Amino acid sequence: MNDTTTYITTSIPYVNAAPHVGFALELVQADAYARHSRLLGKDVRFQCGTDDNSLKNVRAAEAARRPVADFVGENADRFEELGKRLHISNDTFVRTSMDSRHTACVHSLWNACAENGDVYRKAYEGFYCVGCEQFYDLADLDDGRCPEHGLPLEIVKEENWFFRLSRYGGRILHLIETDELNVVPVSRRNEILALLRRGLEDISVSRSAERARGWGVPVPGSNEVIYVWFDALANYLTGLGYGSDEALFRQFWARQGERTHFVGKGISKFHAIYWPAILLSAGVPLPSSIFVHGYLTVDGRKIGKSAGNGISPDSLVENYRTPDALRYYLLRHIRSADDGDFSAQRLEAAWSGELGGQLGNLVNRVLGLLASSFSGVTPAVPDTALVREAADLAGKVQNAFDNYELHLGLAEIFSYLGSANREFTRKAPWSDAKALISGLEETERQIVSDRLGAALAEQVYGLAIVARCLLPFLPEAASRIHAKLGISLPAHYSTPLVVSGARTISGEILFPRQTVVQARS
């Protein structure tokens, strides 16, 4: 087992409705990193899940006239199934209302903070957004409305348990400034630093059982319910057995290693301020990195479950009969850290024009010529400029992962494919293939055969590099290309790549055209 451990998590979405394509963005980003880390030889654990215990879920169940447990369970099923449809390679899936370890984990974390003197009682009145599950200061409101959802806020007056968030602002500021806690991209890091420099106020971390409808994790020794964000953030430790499995927890969190959260920009404050403060109070190591992505939009408007503009990722996967069309669009055409607009038409153009036109067409033409001229067996790979360009590709893709710029990693892959297609057109190996069956003299025949073999072998080598680099992004397509090239899937990037003498398989079209209808959730 590799000594370098990597723990990767997605955030856990509310299950007040079925998933939309916006959450698929986070899933495929985190999955690409998990797959990439495994190929680097790291010991990876990757976790997803659902946030079941929010008031938002309770009210959605009431509006649907459904028992909360049934409503939450059915929607949580949909989120878990989405991960399977997208070929997300998570090791575990934590449902905060159903995982038997979760209450023990939350109570252990709560008790550790309480023992450190950071939990106390206080009466409070404030403006509360159920959609965000947080209180807002009047100065933070947008004309009296939630700045995130644009809806009026509720005025809530209660006596709650509070957490001494203010105690940890200076320490968290130092950790982020020194990159001990790495918040990416820089724009999100600067937003968090600005919040910290303004100063922090303590936060309410419990709700009355009446307001929570009795749904959620109870406060230890109390009839109140733990605030959903304290509850939800703890899920990252639940899956590692905090409070129940010390060995697993030590392996992936309590010792040196990478601990990375993938979250949307709307919840970056909770992950980069609340969560580190809770962990500092409890004496638990912090995450090492928080990668923050933007929103997926339609016509410039954020996609949301309650916004009426949700797009079903399930339908998109069904239309293309593979998750790789959607994975490719989200990872290539949505900049990793920025907002990006979704369009079914652009998705189709990416599938047919880029995956089909640039990659699939080249694979089919190269392998077709190999089949007719060399019985499908790849000749010796020559030392050419194109081969050397292909050999440099893995390093460029690695840089994209290092810099949280997955879109640039795929751009590098398709930049190489542009070179490969141009070189294929320039050398026109189909002309040599025709010449070989036209009755050439032996000497000339050997020259033409060698030239043709070199032109095809350099292409196979480059496509093998492309297939290896695509494994984190498009696992299904990359696996199919490996099979067509006659090479085994590598355990690691460092697995030797041998294509000379490999028996290829021609025929099947990799990215067939589809009739696609944009589906609303």
Which domains are delineated in the chain?
Answer: 5-293 (3.40.50.620), 344-485 (1.10.730.10)
Sign of CA dihedral 223, 224, 228, 229: negative
One-letter amino acid of 304: G
Burial degree of 181 (CB within 10 A; 0-12, 13-18, 19+)? buried
Helix axes 186-198, 169-177, angle to 10 degrees: 150
CA pair distance 93, 90, nearest whole angstrom: 7
Residues 6+ apart with CB under 8 A from 122: 159, 160, 162, 202, 204
- Residue 376 has a CB neighbour count (10 Å cut-off) of 17
- DSSP bridge partners of 42: none
8 A C-beta contact, residue 8 and residue 31? no
The pairing of strands 206-207 and 225-226 is: antiparallel
3-state secondary structure of 182: strand
Report the first-to-last Cα separation within the chain, whole angstroms: 43
pLDDT number for residue 153: 74
Question: Which pLDDT does position 34 carry in this prediction?
Answer: 98
**Bridge pairing between strands 182-184 and 340-341:** unpaired
β-strand partners of 145:
142, 152
Structure-block tokens of residue 376: 């499908």
Q: What is the predicted pLDDT for the residue at 438?
A: 85
Distance CA 254, CA 264 (A): 25
Report the phi/psi class of residue 308: left, alpha or beta, with left for phi > 0 and alpha for psi in -120 to 50.
left
- In angstroms, rounded to a whole number, what is the distance separating the alpha carbons of residues 330 and 337? 12
Mean pLDDT by 10 residues, the chain (521 residues): 81 94 96 98 97 92 95 97 98 95 96 98 77 66 69 78 97 98 98 97 91 90 92 97 90 91 97 98 97 92 68 93 97 97 94 97 98 97 98 98 98 98 98 90 94 98 98 98 97 96 94 64 47
Beta bridge partners of 155: 127
pLDDT of residue 101: 94
Q: How far apart are CA 339 and CA 22, in angstroms?
A: 10
In angstroms, rounded to a whole number, what is the distance separating the alpha carbons of residues 328 and 346? 11
Q: Report which of 444, 481, 442, 440 is spatially closest to residue 464, judged by C-alpha positions.
A: 481
- Residue 184: phi, psi to the nearest 5? -125, 135
